[in-house]
Amino acid sequence: MGWRIRWRVDGFVSAAPVVADVNGDGLPELVVAADALYAWRWDGALLPGFPVWGRNAFASCPAVADVDGDGLPEIVVGCDDNALYAVRATGESVPGWPFWTQGDVYSSPLVADVNGDGAPEIIVGSDDGAVYVVGRDGRPIAGWPQHTQGFVAASPVAADVDGDGRPEIVAASWDGGVYVWCGDGRMLPGWPRFTAHFVWASPVVADVNGDGLPEIIAASDALYVWRGDGTLLDGWPCPLQGYAVAQPLVADVDGDGRLEIVQVGDAVYAWHADGRMLSGFPVPLPAFVWGRPVLLPTPGSVRLVMGAWNGAVYALDVARPRLRLLAQLGAPLFAPLAFVRETQIVAATWAGDVWLGDGTLQGDSAPPTGAVPWVVRTLSPTMLNLPDVPENTPLFVHLAIPRARRAVLWYHADHEDVWHPVPLVKHGDALMGLVQPFPAGRSVRLFAQLWPDEGDTPPIPGRLWNGEPPAVGKRFPPAPQVWTYRTRPVWRARVRRRSRRLWRRFIKWMGR
């Protein structure tokens, strides 16, 4: 089996597809969050009642679990309209839902019993800087929410960190912090701990050194490993060549019976538990990899399969770390790949195509270049007025600087009172950032802040900033200069998108 488009959606896909039995028939369905929430049978037919629309696009990875105690699974997913939705397999909303926060919900919800009452709670972060723990009735439980000073886009983790037999909640924030709370909302002693950049990647809790106690692993400007009491494990943190967004992967990848830590971004890194790099690593990548790789066992080795910003799906055999190209999907890949069964993998692109492919193909040993098949604008100090950008289209911003210890892109649209910070990541031989889509007729301003390799990097606010952003780091271009672009309408795309949505609504109505 090669790679082929199996399903399609009408919007960008930035969160991992989920393979799970949604309707209790014993067969797997595919759940994808995009402009709407989609649930398909494996034969390609939508489940009755789907797609389900929110007030804006869905951008978090759905969770499938029995939320309301009826013995059947529900789908819980965050939305750009500040809400957390809980939907039954029929497409109907669970009574008492959605739950509303004060910010967009990119964080993927976690379903777990964290207060010991025997019923599951839903834990999620929000761009308002808070972590919420919500009961099955759609209301926060006692002691929650708890607040950070930055966006909480990472997905929370529930694990017994301090060995008391009860799960704690681990969450990371754009303020650079990793937080650990008890189930009642109390902060665990020794926490939070801080990195030197935003923490977008979801943390991992695992016993990486085999001492019987869990460690907390988080990726940012470096890879950090803390003990449960908040002290750094010997040999950590380990530096990265650029900022990382993907969740770390903890597994025995070299067959020695001990756990290693794998991190992807501008390269594939692999470390032993004491911080020593595995032989042959890091392996440079021609394009930035946003999502965590899929781990596939192959004869004599372990294979890592990952999707990149240039639309490529790569494979890396750990025993002989050489990068191979499995497929070119023609649009950027942000969502982590989803493992189905045996060697099958699902990949969803920003073009709305959902592919099904084989992760064990031999592949081409010559990877393509890092060119992104999307709308890209290069920032030049001699051209501050950038070409127009199509409406409702995310923009890749390219800065011809090979690296910086930390780099942040700030952008501001004329209808807002705030500036948005986003990390600039190492993509090939340059830095690249991502600006959210805006409707037609907007004027958008942006500039970069850079920190060189030497010296300290003081923290900056990891959330929306009222007024001019803080004057820290090296500003590019120098103040008060900024780059500017406008968004223009795309009438053909409007007609096509609205026609598809009307047709799907009609089919959904006919099926009831």
pLDDT tens digits for range 378-415: 998 889 999 999 998 899 999 988 777 788 999 999 99
According to DSSP, the residues that pair with 191 across neighbouring strands are none
- Sorted by where each starts, the structural domains of the chain and their CATH numbers stand as 3-357 (2.130.10.10), 373-454+475-511 (2.60.40)
Q: Is 183 left (phi over 0), alpha (psi -120 to 50) or beta?
A: alpha
Residue 151 amino acid letter: F
Q: State the DSSP H helix or E strand holding residue 194, giving kind and residue range, or none if neither.
A: strand 193-194
Tokens found for residue 134: 């919500």
314: left (phi over 0), alpha (psi -120 to 50) or beta: beta
What pLDDT does residue 479 have? Answer: 80
Mean pLDDT across 320-338? 91
Supply the pTM of this predicted model.
Answer: 0.92
pLDDT level of residue 2 (50, 70, 90 thresholds): confident
At residue 355's C-alpha, the angle toward residues 353 and 358, to 5°, is: 165
- The β-bridge partners of 314 are 306, 325
Q: What Cα–Cα distance (Å) separates residue 334 from each residue in 6, 61, 253, 337?
A: 18, 12, 24, 9
Q: Which is more confidently placed, 388 or 14?
A: 388
pLDDT of residue 301 exceeding 80 = no
Contact predicate 368/342, CB 8 Å: no
In the chain, what is the straight-line distance between the N-terminal and C-terminal CA atoms, in Å?
36
Q: What are the structure tokens assigned to 6, written together?
A: 């199996």
pLDDT tens across 27-49, in order? 999 999 999 999 999 988 999 99
What's the pLDDT at 170?
A: 99
**What is the mean pLDDT of the segment spanning 342-359?**
90
314: tokens are 């790569």
pLDDT computed for residue 453 by the predictor: 63
Q: Residue 260 pLDDT > 80, yes or no? A: yes
Q: Single out the residue of 290, 291, 288, 237 nearest to residue 267, CA to CA.
A: 288
- Bigger pLDDT: 509 or 175? 175
Residue of higher predicted confidence among 367 and 400: 400
**pLDDT, average across residues 363-375:** 71
User: What are the two backbone dihedrals, phi and then psi, of residue 296, each rounded to the nearest 5 degrees?
Assistant: -120, 130
Task: Retrieve residue 131's tokens.
Answer: 């972590």
- CA atoms of 295 and 271, how far apart (whole Å): 16
Which are the contacts of 68, defined by CB distance < 8 A and separation ≥ 6? 74, 86, 94, 95, 136
Q: State residue 417's pLDDT score.
A: 83
Instruction: Dig out the tokens for 44 from the structure.
Output: 């390609």
pLDDT, residue 366, reads: 55
Look at residue 370 and tell me whether its pLDDT is greater than 80: no
**Average pLDDT rounded to a whole number, residues 299-306:** 84
Residue in this structure with the two tokens 């019923």, named with its chain if needed: 119
The model's confidence at residue 297, banded by pLDDT at 50, 70 and 90, is confident
Look at residue 454 in the predicted model and tell me its pLDDT.
56
> What is the DSSP code string of 377-426?
EEEBTTB-BPPPEETT--EEEEE-----SEEEEEEEETT-SEEEEEE-EE
Q: What percent of the chain has pLDDT over 70?
A: 91
Report DSSP letters for 295-318, one per residue. EEEETTEEEEEEE-TTSEEEEEES
**Is the confidence at residue 511, as pLDDT, over 90?**
no
Instruction: Label residue 7 by pLDDT band (50, 70, 90).
Output: very high
Strands of the 204-206 sheet, one edge to the other: 204-206, 215-219, 222-227, 238-239
Q: Give tens-digit pLDDT for 433-485.
A: 999 999 999 999 999 988 876 555 555 666 666 666 766 667 778 888 899 99
Q: How many CB atoms lie within 10 A of CB 202?
A: 25
pLDDT at residue number 141: 96
Q: Which residue has the higher pLDDT, 362 or 248?
A: 248
* pLDDT tens-digit map of 67-116: 999 999 999 999 999 999 999 999 999 999 999 999 999 999 999 999 99
* Residue of 289, 303, 219, 323 lying closest to 261 (CA atoms): 219
d(CA 282, CA 241) in angstroms, rounded, equals 10
Q: How far apart are CA 370 and CA 310, in angstroms?
A: 6
Model confidence at 502, pLDDT cuts 50, 70, 90, reads confident
Query: Alpha-carbon distance 77 to 188, whole Å?
Result: 28
Residue 392 pLDDT = 87
Mean pLDDT of the chain: 90
The tokens for 227 are 């003990």
Residue 359 has a pLDDT of 82
For strand 376-379 and strand 353-358, is the pairing parallel, antiparallel, or unpaired?
A: unpaired
Q: Return the higher-pLDDT residue of 491 and 140.
A: 140
According to DSSP, the β-strands at 29-33 and 83-87 are unpaired
The tokens describing 60, both together, are 């978090």
Give 449's strand partners: 408, 475
pLDDT, residue 119, reads: 93
Q: Assess whether pLDDT exceeds 70 at residue 492.
A: yes
| Token output for 195 | 């990195």
